[in-house]
Chains A and B, each alone.
Chain A
Amino acid sequence: MLNPPRTWRPRLTLAHLLLLTTTIAIAVAYYSTHQKLATMRTAVRNMRQLTRELIVDNSYEIAAIERVPTLPHENIFDIYIPSVGKTTAGHELRLALDGIVGFETGANGFPLPQDQYPLTPGRHIVEIRHRKADSKNPESMHRIEILLDDQVVMEHTRSLGWVPADGWFSASSLTESRAFHPSQPAQLHRRRFQVPTLGGSPSSVPDGEPANGILLWIAPRSPSP
Chain B
Amino acid sequence: MAYCLWGLIRDGSELRHLKVDAARLERLVGRIDTNDEQKIQVINVRNDGSNELLWRVYLPAGHAWNFSHGLARHYDSTNSISTTKEPQEILIRIRLVNRDGRWVLMVMSPNSWGISNLPDGVGGFLSEHWNEFDTMVAAQDGNKSFSTDEVVSLLSVEVPEALMETAKGELEDSFYKQLQTQLLFSAEVGTVGAFVARAERLEMGSH
Contacts and interface: CB of A to CB of B under 8 A. Distances in A.
B39 interface: no
Contacts of B28: 47, 51
Contacts of A69: 106, 108, 113
Q: Label chain A's interface by main secondary structure.
A: helix
Contact of B25 (A34, A41, A47): A47
Interface in B20-36: 21-22, 25-26, 28-29
A112 interface: no
B7 interface: yes
Interface residues of A, number: 27
B12 A27 contact: no
A47 B28 CA distance: 9
A89 interface: no
B91 interface: yes
Interface string A31-62: 00110110011011011101101000000000
B11 A51 contact: no
A30 B11 contact: yes
B106 A48 contact: no
A171 interface: no
The listed residue with most A CB atoms (<10 A of its CB), out of B1, B11, B29, B106, is: B11
A14 interface: no
B71 to A, nearest CB: 16
Contact of B8 (A26, A40, A43, A44): A26
Contacts, number: 73
B106 A72 contact: yes
A73 B52 CA distance: 17
Contacts of B106: 69-72
A23 interface: yes
Nearest to B21: A44
Interface in B88-103: 89-91, 93, 95, 97, 99
Given A26-B8, A72-B99, A50 B89 contact: yes
Interface of A: 22-23, 26-27, 29-30, 33-34, 36-37, 40-41, 43-44, 46-48, 50-51, 53, 68-73, 175
18 contacts: A27-B1, A27-B4, A29-B8, A30-B4, A34-B7, A34-B11, A36-B15, A40-B22, A43-B22, A47-B29, A50-B90, A51-B91, A69-B106, A70-B95, A71-B106, A72-B97, A72-B106, A73-B115
Interface of B: 1, 4-5, 7-8, 11-12, 14-15, 18-19, 21-22, 25-26, 28-29, 52, 56, 89-91, 93, 95, 97, 99, 104, 106, 108, 110, 113, 115
